[in-house]
Structure 1
């Protein structure tokens, strides 16, 4: 049976073989490849299956489909490929800002340039300057979908497999097939899939670079870690949610305690950061001088947009129901209030990782810090939940089944929180199928399978005489409080989902269903953030216990 922490060893990671997904379909599918000569096959299976899922989602609608004049994020990405093809680099961040002006950092611009150039060789009409606005065709859609899959294949998927391998070998005594099973549980998380390959964006590039940065911290490659992290920030500014932990972890290992001050390490990290930023910004400066940097910063950090735009499950939007912030304060004041609230919220995780810079605490610290940013920072979007969700899903490598249950719970709530956006995009079918599929694969629907579904839907070794029955392990936390929170939140989400699907909101309150969604989601996110910080505090002094 999977290992569970008991009160007597709560602060210890016992090195016991196994995985927390032994009673799940994904274990059934992959465990036959357990013998050493076949283990490499399992990695290719999960990669191929991950691609197939993403291709299937890509058959559906996308953001802004057939909705002029602005369309949506699909058109924004296409338009950036358009302008980087036909305009000189000094005009990229200045051109027609009333349409879809480029407002992501330089690496996104170079990424757009590459795929725009490649696409122009196939069909120049896709990215013809100005006249291609709103261009919608099946072949263009297929090409854009392919670029998203290729980007994820190059950045995010290898990083996940590599991370699970390192943690499995160094902390959890998991063999290759167990590492692959955990990697599949992370890769089949529905939120990133439906945003990047349904709604349409390239978040996997930012998250992949960030995870590669974390991986290099595990290998003590500090300069390389700094380079990957700058690449992550330079692709999408939301990666800054991770920056305080990255800063304090590296600072602690370089400067604290003072008797262990490592000037060479600190200098190497600093030089790596400066050179990477300089390399990315140099083409702009050479063409048009330092004014380009000011324009890039102005476009990348949209303080003029206000505290929030759309309804989102963070503190400001949720409490705005009672306190009308935009009426009481100026945007400048709200920016300062948000900054102070965010600094207070991230301080526990920053302090712990600075005083206890241990590798096994990194996913906990990155999760705690990025959830704080999501809950309290300025200008958060629904899709921003992908940033704290990435380090949160890394905790699936753990063997404590209560931790697994919490990660599964908050992943489902995060998916639910994006329903209003996905509904607008026409992705209802993909939303429901992905939600069911991802939970079924990791065993979260075993309780349904056990009682309601025919046996052929529960394949593999767990039907053998060695494992006579399939038990529910990851749905509900064993502590009564968290078990109750999970049950109530799932029940509330189900009711809100049904009401939203079946009934039009009252004319007087057109956003009522969305507000109910964001309020429930915020309550869950806030509780999870407190839980993450508590566990980070408890685990700060852990010691490894060898079997």
Structure 2
């Protein structure tokens, strides 16, 4: 693969225009700092807007949940963290989130102890507190997720797609400006970038054959947010495969070292709780972390259960236990193609593809999925921008836009409409996906600079062109209807349900496409190691 071919895929993008002047070796460090600084500026701008639950008592929202966890972890002994006032915002993420909250709470208390005063600080919404919380989300991403993205693109450039350093920086920028993660972490307010960054560090170490470090980082990701389980089957089957195959040369030492590192990391995370409160703490943490009693879904999400619930009223037909079993069977079926493939053929260039397929299957079929869970499959999907294939890049750009669209009802409730549209337009413009407008401007006799349309807006396949254009058209129509018209009184959720069905259809088609690409790649000789 030639470097020039790789660059040509982004030749028409503003990202290319901004960064290509720094392609000389002595200046390339400047390009990396430029994309990081601009990423920080964009995130700060989003952080000036509203957040989840702002001015909406009594529960407020995710912003208050994160603040409240800092409150209980700094004000209560560790044995009470997972037991305290579970009717409010009880801690329901794994231990590493609790320690993260404790650290940020301790640091914040040095500025103002009233921010995390037990009970009396509930619903606190001062400007100083908001600024501090926004800074913690920004620094968490800056220290964990952003370095992981740069490391991943550097490895891919060196060993897979042979991209030059400046090309690696352009791809890293395209990944970092993906709007969904920005608007959820810095608008709605969460710390998803920590879990995603730890998972990405695990991927990088796997690519480097550092299997022990890979295992440690992935367990840390699980220890921060349990949703990292979306990636677990692919990590498990890849590591198992490289340890036991071929049977004649089974690497027992590698297998034991991976197993011990996993066990040791879990023990370190849970040890403080067991030491202070006994083994009952582990049971309580697991109950809080896996809330199966909440039902198969709480809100309207673009997955199989919510989309088909329009026709089949699952909760009227099946019991809770039956729905758990159905969900498990469908999820296992959904993750099977990627899991089996990566076990039989543990190739590094298949790994990200399998992660994308597996995590998307979890989103589509598993139990208790939230709108924000689309961020998990979206991370490996955006990593596919490293592929030297214009059709792949166009498909990734399409599904990233659909992912943002699928969260529109949530973002609208959070009053983040402005951020939604601006980030959506900004990311597509930076990627060059709006370069086709030049053609129509020239036809309208508006003088614009003629330019080669190198960035792939649509794939070559006519079916996918029809699907993408149709989905964009329908999404635009839904936005217009949502803005100008109230839904019928007998169907008050019509626009939301339409969003769910459209997004689900796109996600299902993309999942089928990823499995097709996995099988296609697995049947050809590929550069694996």
TM-score by length of 2: 0.97
Q: Which residue of 1 aligns with 2:178?
A: 189
Q: Is 1:112 equivalent to 2:94 in the alignment?
A: no
Structure 1 residue matching 2:511: 3-state secondary structure: helix
Structure 2 residue matching 1:446: 3-state secondary structure: coil
- Aligned partners of 1:383 and 1:300: how far apart in 2? 17
Q: Which residue of 2 aligns with 1:7?
A: none
Q: Which residue of 2 aligns with 1:163?
A: 152
Q: Is 1:269 equivalent to 2:258 in the alignment?
A: yes
- Aligned partners of 1:311 and 1:44: how far apart in 2? 40
Task: Provide Cα deviations, 1:510-543, integer angstroms capped at 9, x if missing partner.
Answer: 1110000000000000000000000000001444
Q: Residues 232 and 194 of structure 1: is their aligned pair in 2 closer, same or farther, counting only changes over 3 Å?
A: same
Q: Which residue of 2 aligns with 1:6?
A: none
Q: Which residue of 2 aligns with 1:446?
A: 435
- Aligned partners of 1:225 and 1:458: how far apart in 2? 53
Q: Residues 438 and 58 of structure 1: is their aligned pair in 2 closer, same or farther, counting only changes over 3 Å?
A: same
TM-score by length of 1: 0.94
| Preserved contact between residue 477 and residue 486 of structure 1 (Cα < 8 Å) | no
Q: Which residue of 1 aligns with 2:192?
A: 203
Q: Which residue of 1 aligns with 2:354?
A: 365
Q: Is 1:507 equivalent to 2:489 in the alignment?
A: yes
Q: Is 1:496 equivalent to 2:478 in the alignment?
A: yes
Q: Which residue of 2 aligns with 1:526?
A: 508
Task: Select 1:227's aligned residue among 200, 208, 216.
Answer: 216
Q: Which residue of 1 aligns with 2:285?
A: 296
Q: Which residue of 1 aligns with 2:378?
A: 389
Q: Which runs of 4+ in 1 moved over 6 A?
A: 13-16
Q: Which residue of 2 aligns with 1:257?
A: 246
Task: Provide Cα deviations, 1:351-402, integer angstroms capped at 9, x if missing partner.
Answer: 1001110111111000000000000000000000000000000000111100
Task: Provide Cα deviations, 1:431-451, integer angstroms capped at 9, x if missing partner.
Answer: 000000000000000012443
Which deviates more from structure 2 when the two are superposed, residues 242-251 or residues 492-501?
492-501
Q: Which residue of 2 aligns with 1:10?
A: none
**How far is the alpha carbon of 1:69 from its aligned partner?**
0.3
Q: Is 1:129 equivalent to 2:118 in the alignment?
A: yes
- Aligned partners of 1:396 and 1:117: how far apart in 2? 39
- Aligned partners of 1:89 and 1:99: how far apart in 2? 18
Structure 2 residue matching 1:508: 3-state secondary structure: coil
Q: Which residue of 1 aligns with 2:273?
A: 284
Task: Select 1:538's aligned residue among 520, 524, 529.
Answer: 520
**How far is the alpha carbon of 1:499 from its aligned partner?**
0.8
Task: Provide Cα deviations, 1:112-152, integer angstroms capped at 9, x if missing partner.
Answer: 00000000110111111000000001111110000001000
Q: Residues 56 and 450 of structure 1: is their aligned pair in 2 closer, same or farther, counting only changes over 3 Å?
A: farther
Q: Which residue of 1 aligns with 2:14?
A: 25
| Preserved contact between residue 25 and residue 458 of structure 1 (Cα < 8 Å) | no
Q: Is 1:71 equivalent to 2:53 in the alignment?
A: no
**How far is the alpha carbon of 1:508 from its aligned partner?**
1.1
- Aligned partners of 1:17 and 1:338: how far apart in 2? 44
Q: Is 1:407 equivalent to 2:389 in the alignment?
A: no
- Aligned partners of 1:145 and 1:319: how far apart in 2? 37
**How far is the alpha carbon of 1:23 from its aligned partner?**
1.1
Structure 2 residue matching 1:514: 3-state secondary structure: helix
Q: Residues 86 and 59 of structure 1: is their aligned pair in 2 closer, same or farther, counting only changes over 3 Å?
A: same
Which deviates more from structure 2 when the two are superposed, residues 442-451 or residues 117-126?
442-451
- Aligned partners of 1:276 and 1:17: how far apart in 2? 43
- Aligned partners of 2:482 and 2:22: how far apart in 1? 43
Q: Which residue of 1 aligns with 2:332?
A: 343
**How far is the alpha carbon of 1:501 from its aligned partner?**
1.7
Q: Which residue of 2 aligns with 1:94?
A: 83
| Preserved contact between residue 94 and residue 222 of structure 2 (Cα < 8 Å) | yes
Q: Is 1:151 equivalent to 2:143 in the alignment?
A: no
Q: Which consecutive unaligned segments of at least 5 residues does structure 1 have? A: 1-12
- Aligned partners of 1:15 and 1:44: how far apart in 2? 22
Q: Which residue of 1 aligns with 2:42?
A: 53
**How far is the alpha carbon of 1:470 from its aligned partner?**
3.3
How many corresponding residue pairs? 524
Task: Provide Cα deviations, 1:479-507, integer angstroms capped at 9, x if missing partner.
Answer: 00000000000000000111112211111
Structure 2 residue matching 1:122: 3-state secondary structure: coil
Task: Provide Cα deviations, 1:30-60, integer angstroms capped at 9, x if missing partner.
Answer: 0000001000100000000000000000000
- Aligned partners of 2:18 and 2:29: how far apart in 1? 14
Q: Is 1:318 equivalent to 2:300 in the alignment?
A: no
**How far is the alpha carbon of 1:17 from its aligned partner?**
5.1
Q: Residues 92 and 296 of structure 1: is their aligned pair in 2 closer, same or farther, counting only changes over 3 Å?
A: same
More relative contact order, 1 or 2 (CA 8 Å, 6+ apart) = 1
Task: Provide Cα deviations, 1:46-89, integer angstroms capped at 9, x if missing partner.
Answer: 00000000000000000000000000000000000000010000
**How far is the alpha carbon of 1:256 from its aligned partner?**
2.0
Q: Is 1:487 equivalent to 2:476 in the alignment?
A: no
Q: Which residue of 2 aligns with 1:433?
A: 422
Structure 1 residue matching 2:6: 3-state secondary structure: coil
- Aligned partners of 2:205 and 2:275: how far apart in 1? 32
**How far is the alpha carbon of 1:453 from its aligned partner?**
9.4
- Aligned partners of 2:416 and 2:439: how far apart in 1? 30
- Aligned partners of 2:24 and 2:95: how far apart in 1? 46
